[in-house]
A and B are shown apart, each in its own frame.
Chain A
């Protein structure tokens, strides 16, 4: 076994509703959507209008800042809706799927002889380019850059996260193909981080052309940012790319079959799911069929594309996000609790022992979306540090962002982080600060200043 890196700081939030390892093929969703909000820092320009017919892999919109990057339809069908929000911002481009999917052909049978430029062009046309992101800023990679290295996190430690080893086990060939393609994009190494807690899938361990790392410890050990920080930190001037297992499998499929086949496996989990299981779906699917007769009915629910810490809220039977490998359903927490701050809180979870639920060890919790208090000034210290394993001072960085001090942010390590790395800080914060949005604000500010 190669190097095992031990993460000590962090927090595993044990929730009720882990997905059982049973794979079901979901009934095909009627509609699919691509959501520009999934992609940080782009300005979408539409290429279709309602009523247009598209094939799977046909472009729906592109990014004004990087016109060659296209965002394509995951299925063939008819564009039926373009939902807009405030200031006509595009929220969703909805495609009604054909019963049989027709694919655009990208004609890439002989992938071995492809050059870097050709690979990038195919990825960009097919709509898979956005699956490769970069640090700093956590935005879609720019094809003009040559990254120092490519990082892949092959496991997820977030609450209720799907078991990636289970998800990828049948896709060894596609994964290898994807890795071969990726390694042509960098002059440096491809780092593959695996979990050291239990034996990883053969798909990962038998792959060639990567550097293996093993990580042990609580969440956020599975975060790619933490892994970068431990393996080879991102410095000023560096650019590294990162992506995830299912996206690599899609890339592998694209370069062996020549089509954009966005099928992936997601976990449907959370305390309000009656039968939490794994489902094979196509990226961007409407969740209606997944949750039909499979969630509790008597109370308001929160549907989340992604995990409870970093996922995005799905409104009215919306769509699974581009990057997400799970859908979580938890209860909404819109209730008043009399003297709640003084109750022992046996049914609540806290990183501190001020809430008495630690008295019953090993139990799993059914947590809701209540904020459990009001926002306050920063008073407590040392809380973030307990759940933040990077060699960075989290509170000081947050404060540097709040005062918009570019120089200080840079020195305190803003290039190395992403919102998701601060998700646990946000969770534990007794002052109920919106830490992830603050970090995103800092990253956006930094990007404007540096470009």
Chain B
């Protein structure tokens, strides 16, 4: 450890202003702080500071994503076996199939995103923010498994540049970057993002697929009116169903949610109110049901598609969500409410979570504005002097 520190100290001057590699200063800082928590001490204000920092916070979120990701890799193998009519297969075998398919996507997402982040940090003279550690993991998770890698790169670049950097970088963006990437692909390359074939590894290529196998996600079946083809509740909960790379397992998502809530990093207000919003919409649809899709029990909606994943990992993105405590409740509720509404009523999109979250991202500042306005009015009313 000491020799590494000595080495870092030795090369440090070359990266500082006037040094040989001053153009890589942000990059150097990012790697240095990755290796060592800096020796900076407090100079003004509070003399002691919380041991938690942005790196630790973001790593916690990534950790919370790991159960979903591992499960997702295994599930890709499983679905592939179903589609090709193969029997059995050990956990390792199945996982390996998923790993081979997903790992390149993760690498492409991180490399593209971080390269852009590093470049922008250098241009702005900022530190590299850790936010992309999470976004870079979220992007692969919500994509179909057979997405071409160049599309992953294009979508990531779009999300980072147009979704984030044009607004001023980390902390300033209006839309959730990971969903921006997904929405970009969804509208730019719809044939790779929807339909029945894209969710199963190897199915687009079409080799060795069992004839009768459709590959449709439960929501696609439901939208088509094939309610009898819906998987069992247990399958929906454990997630052994077709879907995006790693969002199918409600159980894995809940493990992640537990970690986020327990560490205090994820907002319980948003998560819970999103689920409540979804449930309320589901119940309303049940009451006014005119077709089988509307009759699906409200609580089953919470297990289907990307609802749980969106509620736990996407809606809670602190930058694009509402920021006031009351605002968070309204924001979450409307996400759940709209997600189920779009899912069931809209004929064009089988899933509504992504659009509901992006829509509410846009409205979040407005919600906060009215919450703050109420607080201001209360304060001004108390005063005897008029403003």
Contacts and interface: CB of A to CB of B under 8 A. Distances in A.
B45 A353 contact: no
Contacts of B375: 391-393, 412-413
Given A341-B59, A375-B127, A377-B171, A349 B263 contact: no
Given A235-B384, A354-B57, A380-B318, A369 B265 contact: no
A377 B46 contact: no
Nearest to A355: B51
B225 interface: no
Contacts of B269: 382
B10 interface: no
B380 interface: yes
Contacts of A378: 171
Interface stretch (A53-61, A181-189, A304-312): A304-312
A382 B267 contact: yes
Contact of B37 (A13, A337, A379, A380): A337
B169 A377 contact: yes
Interface stretch (A149-157, A192-200, A423-431): A423-431
Interface string B101-132: 00000000000000000000000001101110
Contact of A310 (B36, B46, B382): B46
Contacts of A407: 387
A383 to B, nearest CB: 8
Contacts of B49: 370-373, 426-427, 429, 432
A396 B324 contact: yes
B47 A372 contact: no
Contacts of B54: 373-374, 376, 379-380, 430-431
Contact of B40 (A313, A354, A371, A436): A371
B382 A353 contact: no
Contacts of B170: 376-377, 379
A404 interface: no
Interface size grouping (class) on chain B: 35 or more
Contacts of A349: 50-51
Interface string B249-271: 00000000000001111010100
A385 interface: yes
B56 A355 contact: yes
Interface in B372-387: 372, 375-376, 378-380, 382-385, 387
B231 to A, nearest CB: 35
Contact of A350 (B5, B29, B50): B50
A437 interface: yes
Given A341-B59, A348-B51, A371 B46 contact: no
Interface in B23-69: 29, 33, 35-42, 44-57, 59-60
B325 interface: yes
A315 interface: no
A380 B57 contact: yes
Contacts of A351: 50, 52, 264
B35 A308 contact: no
A427 B318 CA distance: 19
Contact of B44 (A332, A391, A436): A436
A202 B42 CA distance: 39
Interface in B154-180: 169-172
A249 B130 CA distance: 52
A334 interface: yes
B84 interface: no
B129 A379 contact: yes
A379 B127 CA distance: 14
Given A372-B52, A377-B171, A412-B372, A336 B129 contact: no
A273 interface: no
A295 to B, nearest CB: 16
A338 B52 contact: no
B127 A374 contact: yes
Contacts of B48: 13, 159, 308-309, 330, 367-369, 427
A445 interface: no
A371 B42 contact: yes
Interface residues of A, number: 78
A430 B57 CA distance: 8
Interface in A378-426: 378-382, 385-386, 391-393, 395-396, 407, 410-413, 419, 423, 426
Given A370-B49, A374-B127, A412-B372, A393 B324 contact: yes
A357 B56 CA distance: 14
B51 A372 contact: yes
Contact of A236 (B126, B265, B385): B385
Contacts of A396: 323-324, 368, 372
B217 to A, nearest CB: 33
A52 to B, nearest CB: 33
A211 interface: no
B37 A381 contact: no
Contacts of A345: 51
Contact of A411 (B45, B127, B376): B376
Contact of B45 (A302, A334, A426): A426
B323 A411 contact: no
Given A381-B318, A396-B372, A350 B52 contact: yes
A237 B328 CA distance: 33
Interface in B353-387: 368, 372, 375-376, 378-380, 382-385, 387
A279 to B, nearest CB: 21
A209 to B, nearest CB: 26
Interface in A233-263: 233, 235-238
Interface string B303-336: 0000000000000001101011100100000000
A435 interface: yes
B325 A385 contact: yes
A340 interface: yes
A330 B45 CA distance: 15
A410 B379 CA distance: 9
A379 B5 contact: no
Contacts of B265: 352, 354, 380
9 contacts: A237-B385, A308-B48, A328-B47, A333-B42, A355-B51, A372-B50, A377-B171, A393-B324, A430-B56
Interface of A: 13, 159, 233, 235-238, 302, 304, 308-311, 313, 328, 330, 332-342, 345, 348-355, 357, 367-382, 385-386, 391-393, 395-396, 407, 410-413, 419, 423, 426-432, 434-437
* Cβ-closest 6 pairs across A and B: A373-B53, A237-B385, A340-B37, A377-B171, A348-B51, A235-B383
Given A351-B52, A381-B319, 9 more contacts: A238-B383, A340-B37, A342-B55, A349-B51, A354-B52, A374-B40, A376-B54, A392-B375, A411-B380
